[in-house]
Chains A and B, each alone.
Chain A
Amino acid sequence: MKLTRDGIAYRVACDLPDGAYVNLGIGIPTIVSAYLTPDKEIFFHSENGILGMGPVAKPGTEDVDLVNAGKEFVTMLPGGAFFDHPLSFSIIRGGHLTHSVLGALEVAANGDLANWRTPGEKVPGVGGAMDLAFGVKNVWVTTTHVTSKGKPKILKACTLPLTAPHCVKRIYTDIAVIDVTPQGLVLREFAPGLDPATVQSQTDAPLQIAPDCHAMNIPEAPKGVPLAA
């Protein structure tokens, strides 16, 4: 079995602690907020000057002056705040966010991240990715384990231009949860029905197996969307 995009987002949501201040990147990370349980009070940050961002606005209730970094109309939660870009990036670069959840093209065994320049992309763009990768305490990455052509994305060394060196702390894929440690990559969990050897066979970098390594506990479809298939 492999996790769906919602499944990966669900697995990240399980690990975000109460009291976290989090920036969610575009793509799978955006889905994470949908799977948070109400027992946790978590604040979401958006690069364009928002802390305490709520869900996407319902049709008919949009406010033209309230968008997220992906330019979607969003809402605010009680206790939120608006500010300008220098302050927003003081929050990021100054290490005040507890978690940044980002997509990845490649991750290396030493925590190097490549996610801002896709191969063959003709017009470059970086946005806030580098500031997040350099500045946030816990950089967590969500990605499919291999490319659409079946090539591993978790490598001994990145081949694409780096977003930041040595920044990734944890990797969530459709088949595994892997910690990046000073001693190398440590496999914590694997998708239901798989085993550590299968995960290693799809990973370029060597994996150590955590003593308590186990299959993920994934419910079927808590929001109506299957989490694994």
Chain B
Amino acid sequence: MIDKTLKTCEEAVAKVFDGATIMLGGFGDPGLPGRLLEALRKQGTKNLSVIHNGAGSGDWALGGLIKDGRVRKVTASFPNNPGAIAFQDLYLKGQIELELVPQGTLAERIRAAGAGLGGFFTPTGAGTELGKGKETRVIDGREYVFEKPLHADFAFVRAHRGDRLGNLSYRKAMRNFNVPMATAGNVTIAEVDELVPVGGIDPENVHTPGIFVDHLVALPRHPKLVEIGPPR
């Protein structure tokens, strides 16, 4: 019998090693695997390379991990989000590396990795600072930039519901980077609000099929992710 469920986030992140590359789903708070990130902070590995749209917010989750000096490199599209204080502080001191990637290119590089592609040509960035030094090709009269796939040792994602097979279903704007990241991690770990029996998610509504998921943990949301109030 297949059972991918684990009891705790601590077990789920136990195999993360020094120097690992980790993808983190979420855009703002929706879909952010906050409990896994807090467990990773306690777990203690260093020199991590993180792939995420932003660069963390405040001093918890990714912001906390960066503040603790555990992250060597961030690959992101929007690391200047106002809350990314820890990242910005270290970046200005030259203590953290940044690979800046346009948001659509970031999403597609992750998708390409999960889809077994060797890369793709995109118009985004051609003739700009972010296209410099990259291979270009003119296709049907338009200039394109070659972009390579982005793989990771681990992908941390968060969904609304999951079953023991790893099938995941998201709510509203939670899908964002979680869907492609779940396909691109060597080990994909999901944090879900609710564990349901097999068959509890209608196949019509399985957004991430269980084949992509290695482990899942069902836990109430991190309190930071249930607060309703003014956007942070």
Contact = CB atoms under 8 A, between A and B. Distances in A.
Interface residues of A, number: 46
A86 B227 contact: no
B231 interface: yes
Nearest to B102: A130
Contacts of A138: none
A76 B172 CA distance: 10
Contact of B172 (A66, A69, A125): A66
- Among A50, A89, A163, the one with the most B-chain Cβ atoms within 10 Å of its Cβ is A89
Interface residues of B, number: 57
A47 interface: yes
Contacts, number: 159
Interface of A: 46-50, 60, 62-67, 69-73, 76, 82-86, 88-89, 92-93, 117, 121-131, 134-135, 161-165
15 contacts: A50-B173, A60-B228, A65-B174, A71-B28, A73-B228, A84-B207, A126-B101, A127-B77, A127-B103, A130-B105, A130-B130, A134-B124, A135-B124, A162-B128, A164-B127
7 tightest A-B CB contacts, nearest first? A89-B104, A125-B80, A131-B104, A84-B179, A85-B107, A65-B172, A71-B28
Given A85-B177, A86-B108, A93-B104, 19 more contacts: A46-B173, A47-B27, A48-B30, A65-B31, A65-B174, A70-B231, A71-B29, A71-B231, A82-B175, A84-B176, A85-B27, A85-B176, A89-B103, A93-B122, A125-B77, A126-B130, A134-B124, A135-B123, A161-B129
Interface of B: 27-31, 76-81, 84, 87-88, 91-92, 98, 100-108, 110-111, 122-130, 160, 170-180, 207, 225-229, 231-232
